[in-house]
Every structure is written in structure tokens, then in C-alpha cells.
Amino acid sequence: MKTFSGPNPPRIALIGECMIELQQRADGSLQQSFGGDTLNTAVYLSRELGERARVDYVTALGDDSFSDAMCQSWVDEGIGLGMVQRLPGRLPGLYCIQTDAAGERRFLYWRNEAAVRDCFTTAAATPILAALPDYDVLYFSGITLAVLGEEGRKKLIETLVEARQRAAQIVFDNNYRPRLWSSVEQARTAYREVLPYVDLALLTLEDEQALFHFSGAEAVFAAYQQIGTPQVVLKRGAESCLIRCNGEHFEVAAQRVDQVLDTTAAGDSFSAAYLASRLGGGTPAQAAEAGHRLASRVIQVPGALIPRV
């Protein structure tokens, strides 16, 4: 993976959806914040890289007070707003997190009318789509694919093709959520259309098995080798992560955590720290260690985004 050590910091665009997050507490009360897989990664990536990179978020929001607050929170995190559309009369999506005694979470979503579903289909999207191929890194997820819809996915693929021609690096987190798709066949088709353009695949083993029915890690790696993905990271929760990078194999143990409070954004934060390390010249093993370190902190705090230190 290309590293950036010169005077010009890399420009990174993360494409996806941020929602209103409601965290249900033990007493039944709700704490409101904001979250979404690619947004979580954008925040942690910005924190990890600081002034060593420019991190922009690509999405569509409404013109409501929640959307205003989202944008302000992103500015506070050092995330650029130049690729954010504000659609009159629209609203962001909403979700609620319920966690059990073991820290495992259940999500309840209200997102069908969210503004992001028109992110790449409005007239205002034309200059955004034209600008994306000039970024050094484009990052998106399986959830991005789902919420963009069929027309938006076509626009994304066109952008990925041009971005690769301009030497951009494409990063994909599989994040498969069955409820966002009309069928597993629709999801498989969408994933298979974008995977040939991916340079770094950040995968969760359970999601790969649910979507493609792989028998295990070796089957996943064999499939991505056939696709031609140069770097594949297989996240396995509390177990070690497995990495195949340009023919080399790595296994990096996760950090032990005595008490898991909330696993929300564990994978998102791992991905952010991994990518930050690789862009800074870290080896795959060093990047995985950084990912495990950050994820181990995140799962000990409620909600997707832990307080800044």
C-alpha cells in the first residue's frame, strides 16, 4: 500500500451514512449522539492522523437541527464538510442500540427515508462525483452500497474506475447487514461489482460467511486472491486477525479486555487505526496491532465514539 511521508498530506474521502444514535441505558433512558460505520471510521481516522492527512466525509443530510449538529461535531473532529450535501426538507436516519450483559448489541433502525439515499442522484452530486477520483484514498462499506441504492451504486462504480485510473487507493469494509437488502442475491451482486476495484479489503469473517457462505478463513482468502485483491484483513472479534498482503501471511493477536461494555464500532475503529498505520508506513502486523489497541479501548466505553483524550 502506498505510504505518504512528503509535504503533501493524503486526501481521504469516506463515503456513507451518519445517523442519529440513541443508546439505551440500563434504566431505560436514552442518550443521543451520532454514528454510522464509515462515519465512525472517519472520526477515528482523523484522530489517528491529525494534521498528517485531510479526511472528508461524503454523504447527504437534511436541513434540520440534527443535521446541523452532526456537521458541527464533524468539524470539531477535524473532518471536512466540502463533500456533504444538505437536502431541503429531508432528515438523517436514526437508530437505537440495545446492549446485553455481555456487551453484544442489537440495532433498531429508522432509515428508509434518509437523505443519504439520494446522495449520488441529485444535481448537486455531479461536482462531488467529479472530485472524488482526485482523492488519494476512497473508503466505503457494504452499508454504503446498500443505502446508495441501485442508481447510486452505479455512480459509485464509475467513480471507482476513474479513481483507480488516477492511482487512488480503494478501501472497502464488508459490513454486510441483511435487513438493508431486498435479498442476499442482490447484496452478492452489488459486492461482486465493486470488489475488483478494491486495494484493501477489511472483512469481518461472520459477514463473509453470511453473505457468501464461505466455510472459513482459507476459503475467504482464496476467493479474494482469485478476485485479485492485494491486501485482505480478516477481523474476528476477540480472536486474532488474519492478513494476506501481496503473498505474505500474518496473524496478530487481539488485546485482552477484562470487561467488554459495548462492542459498537469495534470493527470501525480497528479499520481506522489499521489504515492510518499503513498510510504512515507501518507494516501489516504493526497496523493490526494498532487496530487491536484502539478497538480494545472502544469496547470499554458505551456508544460508537469514545471521548477524545
Q: Which residues are catalytic?
A: 268
Q: Are 13 and 56 in contact (CB under 8 A)?
A: yes
State the Cα–Cα distance between residues 115 and 138, nearest whole angstrom: 21
SS3 state at 162: helix
Q: Are 273 and 291 in contact (CB under 8 A)?
A: yes
In sequence order, the 6+-apart residues with CB closer than 8 A to the CB of 114 are 17, 19, 90, 91, 92, 93, 147
How many Cβ atoms sit within 10 Å of the Cβ of residue 96? 15
In sequence order, the 6+-apart residues with CB closer than 8 A to the CB of 152 are 117, 118, 119, 120, 121
Angle at 20 between CA 194 and CA 179, to 5 degrees: 45
Q: Are 111 and 83 in contact (CB under 8 A)?
A: no
State the Cα–Cα distance between residues 4 and 127, nearest whole angstrom: 26
Q: For the chain, report the end-to-end CA distance as a whole number of angstroms.
A: 29
DSSP per position, 120-132: TTSTTHHHHHHHG
Buried/exposed 257-277: b ≥16 CB within 10 Å, e otherwise: beebebbbbbbbbbbbbbbbb
Pinpoint the alpha helices (H) of the chain.
Answer: 37-49, 65-76, 125-131, 142-165, 184-194, 205-212, 217-227, 266-279, 284-298
Q: Are 177 and 209 in contact (CB under 8 A)?
A: no
